[in-house]
Chains A and B, each alone.
Chain A
Amino acid sequence: MSQARTQSPPPASAARVDAIAAIMRFSTLGALIALIIFNVFFTNHFLAMQTLDVNLTQVATIVIVGVGMTLVIATGGIDLSVGSLMAISGAIAPIIFLNKVFNIGEVHVAVAVAMIVAVLLAGAFGWFNGWLITRFRIQPIIGTLVLFIAGRGIAQVMTNGNLQPFKLDAFQWIGLGRLFAIQDVYRGLPIQVAIMIVLVIAAAWVLKRSLFGRQILAIGGNERAARLSGVPVAQVKRWVYCISGLCAGLAGLVVIAINSSSDANQVGLGMELDAIAAVAVGGTLLSGGRATITGTLIGALIIQLVRYTMLANGVPDDVAKLAKAGLIVAAVWLQGQGRA
């Protein structure tokens, strides 16, 4: 009824919003650079290949999950089930490649089948999330809470709650293998870091250049307008949650490969929060409609580097967690300013 509602915001406030958006875009990258400079001066042996290696390896799974999470959040949703889906993927893969159910003679075939089945299963559960949310119009936070709780239970039932240890180079290549190694000079790029880079580039490109990316951002920006313009809202959302599931499945494989064992209780524990934190710090709008994949990468790196900096300078891990919480609060506060 009030006429004010239909008016566009006055240009002054729009300009202010954009200024803040620009500051945010700059500030995430700026914060990363500041952290690196700080470390160069104050942390011993920071400028070593080893440091880069450790940090990238640790951040890779968060970014892999964060890519899917960014797409979900871009539609205005959220996916709490990613950690549990990692556990499911991590539970099913060893069952297959250890030949527990049926015998696949050739080890490479077994590993390939295990990986494909594990990732697709996680993707199918992701699709289920999307189906719940669109079919019954459940809020995403509740819809994905279902598998957040049940998913880990499913993983435990699959493994009877047992730890599954293994030592199988053909599989662990995904967590321990390296590319482009140079004898005596460079140990090589960790495979999971390579996967991370490929995923980040692919997702950033999809978000910017494809119909699917445009539809995701339209839904997050104004779902009703998107529907009235013929965007297949339910279908796009299902795909987005499916992709988030696929990413989680892949991350689950990386984690168990690094650990040489699969523990349904531990794989991906707390990952949903790490991924959401990376997305938030990276500058993606948590209410949807504006998303940046490279931002998520930078966000994850900042969180990782803050923790590394503190640990390397003798600050206890508990305090480091406080710093992480502070970062998230700061990022969300900045977003609130941007929307005011």
Chain B
Amino acid sequence: MTSATSPSVSPLLSMRSISKAFGGIPALAAASLEVAPGEVHALIGQNGAGKSTMIKILTGYVGRDEGEISFDGAAFDARSPQDAQHKGISTIYQEINLVPFRSVTENICLGRESRRFGLLDWKAMHEQARTLLSRFKIDLDVRKPLLRFNTATQQMVAIARAIGFKAKLVIMDEPTSSLDEREVAVLFDVIRQLKSEGVSVVFVSHKLDELYEVCDRVTIMRDGRTVRTADMAAIGKLELVASMLGRDIAQVAKSATAFGDRHGRIGDVVLTADHLSAGHKVHDVSFSVKRGEIAGFAGLLGAGRTETARMVFGADPLRSGSLSLDGQPLVPREPIDSIRRGIGFSSEDRKLEGIVPEMSVSENLTLALMPQLTRAGIVDEAKQQAIVEKFIQRLGVKCSGPGQKIRELSGGNQQKVLLARWLAMNPKLLILDEPTRGIDVGAKAEIQSLIKELADQGLAVLMISSELEEVLEGSDRVFVLREGRSVAEFPHAEASESAVMTAMAHGDSDLVAERSAS
């Protein structure tokens, strides 16, 4: 752990040795965070690093198991987000939490209305709202309903409401994810304004460029710990990414893996994706997957990997770009369209989008295959049982029997059942989003070798993982996505950690600049 230049003044906020476990699983292990007065402090980390838990503890959303918090020179213990706000810590979330049909004034004053003789004092409230907004150089008709204004203005109103008149610390959790460039610029002006008034800001974002633009210092978290705090100016992008992923940049070297002889088995292109775009997160992504090949997506959180995969599968709509499968155009409107063409998709969120908890192992396993297992609408139970038993055995699913409810299985065994759901379809292309997330080490290794075995048999696999090691060691080709664009492509032999991380952090254009500078 590198210690950063500590601020000369005493910190406004200090969280020390914070620990927290959910149902026995540690989310935070002695994590710490220190924020100086009038400082914009970035808080970054991968999925599951503990950023959100840290913020939830600070704002009283959840309690902590261990640790101390001091704020503004005194011990701090918020009982609820409202309590935290009352004590000077305001939070602004990604989603705008306002009432669109009510006026700007009502939204700002909600919960702290001025009263006069028991009635609402509208004049005073309008004045209050106007004064507050003028602080951010916003001048608008506060009587109009909020939905008349654009997203950026609504966001400003949300910020104004959250900050009120007495916030000393403002937490912004991915505030820019739904804003366009111009709106982001306005937001940054607000942040600078706050800073000039001595208000501190904790800024959570996955867009590295933004951090360099507006933040003074950064705290990096990984696996529930604080791994580093540094001045923004003293840390390079690559170093930042290496810390987030837990890689020592100096020692990063391509490790040899027993992967070399796979290339002979790779066949024709199965899926081609050209210039895909959709929603806020995917702008221009191109890639292809060949028969017998495992293609991996590498990228930071928010790079658009999952969104791209969902688009290919028809789970989310495609805005522009083209897809083709086996040379024929693929236009998936619904998942069923892709499934009929021979594509399978295993979601990153097993509980929310994978298992049907009330159903048995057998019913979960055959869910996608079901139409092929029925004759005249009636399920062929014998055929179903034969298939289920075959896959339980082949994948080594540990369960008391095909009739056991899937929710009673461990995460690893649930994941195996979900893999079997697609393997039973005999697909051409299998998309695996975080196939080993949240499962134990043994099951993880089993699933990883199973994926390789399937590719050897001719299956095309598109794999997404937040664990860089898994992508690098498990892929024949690595595609790097950054902020919704595909920025680099590496064959297995060239996919070294340093090269891939550089691409994840910079993209091509910055890379050239940095190389010429050094």
Cα distance, A285 to B359, chains bound together (Å): 13
Query: A225-263, CB under 8 A of B: which get 1 and which 0?
Result: 111111110000000000000000000000000000000
Are A290 and B358 CB-contacts (below 8 A) given A1-B48, A210-B374, A230-B335? yes
Of residues 1 through 49 on chain B, the ones whose CB sits less than 8 Å from some CB of chain A are: 22-23, 25, 27, 47-48
Of residues 1 through 22 on chain A, the ones whose CB sits less than 8 Å from some CB of chain B are: 1-11, 14-15, 18
Cα distance, A2 to B355, chains bound together (Å): 19
State whether the Cβ of B228 lies closer than 8 Å to any Cβ in chain A: no
Q: Which B residues lie within 8 Å of A2 (CB)?
A: 22, 27, 48, 52-53
Cα distance, A226 to B364, chains bound together (Å): 10
Contact check, B22 vs A217: say whether CB atoms are below 8 A apart.
no
Q: Which B residues lie within 8 Å of A225 (CB)?
A: 347, 352-356, 367
Cα distance, A5 to B410, chains bound together (Å): 14
State whether the Cβ of B411 lies closer than 8 Å to any Cβ in chain A: yes
Distance (whole angstroms) from the CB of A10 to the closest CB of chain B: 7
Are A224 and B22 CB-contacts (below 8 A) given A11-B408, A214-B379, A229-B368? no
Of residues 409 through 442 on chain B, the ones whose CB sits less than 8 Å from some CB of chain A are: 409-411, 414, 421, 437-438
Of residues 176 through 220 on chain A, the ones whose CB sits less than 8 Å from some CB of chain B are: 209-212, 214-215, 217-218
Are A4 and B336 CB-contacts (below 8 A) given A11-B408, A226-B367, A229-B367? no
Contact check, A3 vs B370: say whether CB atoms are below 8 A apart.
no
Q: Which A residues lie within 8 Å of B339 (CB)?
A: 229-230
Query: B51-71, CB under 8 A of A: which get 1 and which 0?
Result: 111000000000000000000
Cα distance, A225 to B367, chains bound together (Å): 9
State whether the Cβ of A90 lies closer than 8 Å to any Cβ in chain B: no
Q: Which A residues lie within 8 Å of B367 (CB)?
A: 214, 218, 225-226, 229, 231
Contact check, B335 vs A227: say whether CB atoms are below 8 A apart.
yes
State whether the Cβ of A153 lies closer than 8 Å to any Cβ in chain B: no
Cα distance, A256 to B74, chains bound together (Å): 75
State whether the Cβ of B321 lies closer than 8 Å to any Cβ in chain A: no
Distance (whole angstroms) from the CB of B423 to the closest CB of chain A: 13
Distance (whole angstroms) from the CB of B333 to the closest CB of chain A: 12
State whether the Cβ of A222 lies closer than 8 Å to any Cβ in chain B: yes
Cα distance, A210 to B351, chains bound together (Å): 25
Q: Which of A211, A227, A228, A232 has the most CB of B within 10 A?
A: A228
State whether the Cβ of B508 lies closer than 8 Å to any Cβ in chain A: no
Cα distance, A282 to B339, chains bound together (Å): 37
Besides A1-B48, A210-B379, A229-B368, 19 more A-B contacts (Cβ < 8 Å) are A1-B52, A2-B48, A4-B27, A5-B351, A6-B351, A6-B438, A7-B25, A209-B378, A214-B379, A222-B352, A222-B357, A224-B353, A225-B352, A227-B334, A230-B335, A231-B367, A285-B358, A289-B356, A290-B358
